[in-house]
Amino acid sequence: MRRRSSAVLGTTTACCLLLLPPPIRAHTDYRQVAEPPRPAATRTLAADRETFVIGAPAEVTGPRVHSVLPAPRGPHALLLREVPRNRLSPGGQPEQQRFTDGEFQVLLWNGRTGRTSVVWRRRVDARTSLSVLEAQWLSDSDTAAVQLALAPLGEDGTPLKGPDGEMVPGEFLVLLVGARGGTARSLPLTDQDVVHFSPVQPLAVIERTVPTTAEGAAYFEEMESSLRVLREDGTTGPEVPLPKGAALSLEFSETPDTVFVAKRERTPPPQNRRRYIHFSLDLKNGALTPLPGEPKAAKAAQERQAAHLAQQPIRLRASDGMLQDDATGVREPLRAVWLERQPHPGEDAGAATDARVLIVPDGEGVALLPDLSAALYLTRDGVLRAVPIFRKPAGAATAVTGAPSGG
Amino acid sequence: MRIRNAGEPWWRVYIAAATVGVALLGAAVASSAARQTPPMSVGRAARAVVAGAETFLLGEAQALAGPRIRAVSPMPDGPYALIVREIPDEPQGALPEEASGGRPFHNGEVQVLLWNRRTQRVSVMWRKRADARTAVYVDIPEWFPGSGTALLGIGTQRLDGPSPGGNSSEDLPEPETAYYVVNVRSTAATRLPIPVARLRIMAPDQPFAVLCDSPPDSEDGNTAWSSFRVLGADGSVSSPLPLPEGASPIGALTADASALVVRLPRKPGERSLRYAAVRVSDGAVTALDKLPENASNAKQAMLQSIADLPVRLVGRPATLTDGSGARETVHAVWLERNDASSQPAGAPPTPTQPPPDTTKPVSDRAPVRRDELTLVTPDGEALMLTPDGGAALYLNRDGTLMAVPLERMETGAFLTARREAQKAQTLQNAKQIALGVLMYTMDYDEVLPPATGVEGIIAPYLRSSDVFNNPTTGAPGFRFVLPGGGPMGKIEKPAATVLGYLEGPGGRAVIYVDGHVTWEDAK
């Protein structure tokens, strides 16, 4: 009975198909029932004593995603996205054009649930300049910070000037995006503020600089600056003044709550050479300690993350590739994204055919989550997609996939 | 120690960027957040297919609906499409498994979606849960031409009901089937109070369907047909009219949609097939000498419209290689000039020519001009073009339905615009080279770079080495003509001394020592 009922509903389809002249059917890929194209076999990558099983990619968001920042811990990623009003972009070089019509969005992706949420948005038009000055996760934290500057523009696209000829002030802010709550907290800044992110603690330092002279050699030496600690909960500490001219360099120490600053001065004539005096500053009490020489600063967050990923058994690699149409011979340059076994010291990973798996033939902006649970990449159209990765003991993977490990 | 680059507050940096017209967001991101994620590829050159007098420009792909897509039915005369989608109850992050192609669907939700190409919105028009107790079938939506309405056949079947004959699947209860009319204006799906027919035929270019039925007690579903009704786009249905005894509808109407074409039973000793036209208004039967060539239905007419477009969508294997020796076969989707529709616009329709066999080796086919074919996606499955050629639909590897908007323009205008864009690109690249040389000179005590290998020497000052290429051909196009290596101060007239040339479309950019650039047409 069930067989017949299926036939009842499918009879139309069958009749219509039979009627179609063969040429139309032959070259019009009209599918009555479209099955998703799936890889012939589950793809796996063997590395050390583990096998990594590659899942089916899923769209995260887009277009156009401009930046992807995986969280240092946990399954989240911070995304920066432009949503153009008109998706058709005939001609031109879009990457060299300012985004002038649409919405700028800050999004949060949760790799565990697969959900993406917009945590902050702002309309952008030809008369508004929106600039992302910095975006990163606070160290060892579930909070990310995005530093933004918005400025009004004139009709010619240059900064808008008031009747007095001075530039109309813009808006400056830092967003603190909490991955757990999926919220964004906005903190106003001024055009004199610079935000420095600590690579060792979940905090940032807001440096406010007031130049005493706008131009001239005395600029650096005469600068007056102060620091405020910005914590992941959005609160800020008291203002800590710096010695005059000591804002030339600011770096974090491996010691918590400590930053290094440097002051430049000139040796007395006739040498008249520049020299740097280094200080250590305790952010908790403002105590300033002169240092005998240049201190060793903490590694930047990016370096730490890169070092962490280098120790993992697999890595994500984008390489210039060439796609050749088997029917016409037409070639198209692509950017292929591969998941590879991390080569051992002195080993040429490219030589082994089972050392890699194709993630996508044309993608960019690749990122591997620190816990290796997913690979993220951007498509040609700026759509962000995620490929889940499942870690299995080598033996167990064969049972799961029914096939031995290999590309 | 890292000395701050600008040593200034931000506003100076971003104002400077705005003044020179650099993409603020891109520049800022490229220098900060995107250190782990290089700038993405949205900046690639516009994709286009030159198809005779018309050129099709491809916009950015839009994801319409996630897996699993079961059917896509574009409106033949408007910017809509109906999509049948199944959302299985699979836990997020589940291990990959083969798509459950077997029906009925009983572990999730079935949705009928409406895509409006103009607003780029997808809305749910109808949805139903399917579970272990109830399976859901949704037939392919079919449009009533010219009406903004479509017909859906939907069936539900109890899977846990009393089985009269035991536990076999063959003995499950009869499914409950129904017709729904969906309307794009009201975005509503209305159930029709009529029984589902055994065969429905959508009229070509007319807003009605013919529903053909078997005798109520017929067990031989393959041969017995008794009557037909006419279903209007508004849901109205006519009284049943009889079909000639033994007649079988062939699934088509005459070209003017006035009559249903049926095949008549052979008479004893007769070898050729006999046909008749049954007028849909009153059931009058007219014998036909042969099968009318122009007999058609709405779907066939729509497919013919797609086949007549100057471009077509094809999916076929392609080989991906990279410098490390990696090699992979993928299934690429291309938009290419349609050889079968190369007649000029406005020419009378001609019988459809067999298209070239895209599976043949290269040597057996006419060579394809590079601008007559463009990559839509390197790994997907081609579905179809919309009948008006306004969008290309394909499935991603994961089954997501994607739409790429297409915009038509006159080829002459396109080629002119492209040449101008490439010329502007050449000048822009030349300017970057000039700035790179100047920056090098400033860093090296006012000494110009050596004449040989200048591309590599100034590379650290450039965003990409592609600036040395001719934008038209992609081949290296830069020539450094200064002796090189000498002090820049010795050049008396930097604004009149040529540093080098960069080839472009129909000419070249002339780069001067002072950094300014001019255009020189080819002689």
Quote ipTM for the complex.
0.73
CB contact under 8 A, B322 and A320: yes
∠ at Cα A118 (A116, A124), nearest 5°? 135
- B239 contact A CB<8A: no
How many Å lie between the alpha carbon of A134 and the closest alpha carbon of chain B?
A: 5
Q: Which residue of A has its CA nearest to B330?
A: A361
How many Å lie between the alpha carbon of B92 and the closest alpha carbon of chain A?
A: 6
CA distances from B174 to B161, B195, B213 (A): 10, 14, 18
CB B207 within 8 A of CB B147: yes
CB contact under 8 A, A15 and B316: no
Of B28, B297, B381, the CB nearest to A132: B28
Tokens for B139, please give them. 């037939």
Check whether B276 has a pLDDT greater than 70.
Answer: yes
Tokens for B351, please give them. 């019988």
- B161 contact A CB<8A: no
Instruction: Say which residue, B32 or A214, is predicted with more confidence.
Output: A214
Check whether B398 has a pLDDT greater than 70.
Answer: yes
- Position B504 confidence tier, pLDDT thresholds 50, 70, 90: very high
pLDDT recorded at residue A248: 62
- A40 contact B CB<8A: no
What is the crossing angle of helices A2-19 and B298-307, to 10°?
50
Check whether A244 has a pLDDT greater than 80.
Answer: no
- Mutation target among A132, A194, A210 for the B interface, most CBs of B within 10 A: A132
CB contact under 8 A, A15 and B250: yes
pLDDT recorded at residue A165: 84
The H-or-E segment that residue B414 falls in is helix B411-443
CB contact under 8 A, A7 and B418: no
Q: Amino acid identity, residue A207? A: E
Check whether B17 has a pLDDT greater than 50.
Answer: no
Nearest one of A276, A258, A259 to A267, comparing CA atoms? A276
The pLDDT tens digits of the residues spanning A365-384 come to 678 998 899 999 988 777 88
The Cα–Cα gap between A370 and B417 comes to 45
- B3 contact A CB<8A: yes
The Cα–Cα gap between A140 and A117 comes to 22
- Phi, psi of B272, rounded to the nearest 5 degrees: -85, 155
Tokens for B279, please give them. 């007028």
Q: Can you tell me the mean pLDDT for B203-229?
A: 82
Residues of A in contact with B106 (CB under 8 A): none
Window from A111-120, A324-333, B128-137 with minimum mean pLDDT? B128-137
Q: Can you tell me the mean pLDDT for B453-465?
A: 87
Tokens for A42, please give them. 């589950």
Tokens for B298, please give them. 């709405």
How many Å lie between the alpha carbon of A276 and the closest alpha carbon of chain B?
A: 10
Q: Which residue of B has its CA nearest to A94?
A: B43
Check whether B226 has a pLDDT greater than 60.
Answer: yes
CB B449 within 8 A of CB B438: no
The Cα–Cα gap between A149 and B25 comes to 10
Tokens for B51, please give them. 């198809």
- B41 contact A CB<8A: yes
Please give the distance of CA A186 from its chain centroid, rounded to a whole number.
20
Indicate the SS3 state at residue A193.
strand
Report the 10 Å Cβ neighbour count for B199: 20
The H-or-E segment that residue B429 falls in is helix B411-443
What per-residue string of b and e applies to B290-327 under the rule 16 or more CB within 10 Å gives b?
eebeebbbbbbbbbbbbbbbbbbbbbeebebbbebebe
Window from A375-379, B63-67, B77-81, B240-244 with minimum mean pLDDT? B63-67
Nearest one of A329, A95, A231 to B43, comparing CA atoms? A95
- Mutation target among B263, B322, B425 for the A interface, most CBs of A within 10 A: B322
pLDDT recorded at residue A24: 24
Of A149, A334, A400, the CB nearest to B10: A149
| C-alpha count within 13 angstroms, C-beta hemisphere, residue B292 | 22
Tokens for B188, please give them. 């509503």
- B14 contact A CB<8A: yes
Q: Which fold has domain B62-91+99-302?
A: Neuraminidase (2.120.10)
Q: Which residue of B has its CA nearest to A365?
A: B37
The whole model's pTM is what? 0.73
Domain ranges, ordered by start, for chain B: 1-34, 62-91+99-302, 414-521
Give the torsion sign (CA, B359, B363, B367, B371).
positive
Residues of A in contact with B87 (CB under 8 A): none
Percent over 90 (pLDDT), chain B: 43
CB contact under 8 A, B95 and A400: yes
Residue labelled with tokens 């009747």: A163
Interface of B with A in 90-149 (CB under 8 A): 92-96, 98-99, 101, 103-104, 120, 137, 139-140, 142
CB contact under 8 A, A80 and B69: no
Q: Which residue of B has its CA nearest to A127?
A: B18
The pLDDT tens digits of the residues spanning B476-500 come to 999 999 887 788 888 889 999 999 9
CB contact under 8 A, B395 and A113: no
Nearest one of A42, A56, A111 to A397, comparing CA atoms? A42
What percentage of chain A's residues is helix, strand, coil (to nearest 5)? 15, 45, 40
pLDDT recorded at residue A396: 66
How many Å lie between the alpha carbon of A270 and the closest alpha carbon of chain B?
A: 24
Query: In whole numbers, what is the pLDDT of chain B averaged over residues?
Result: 80
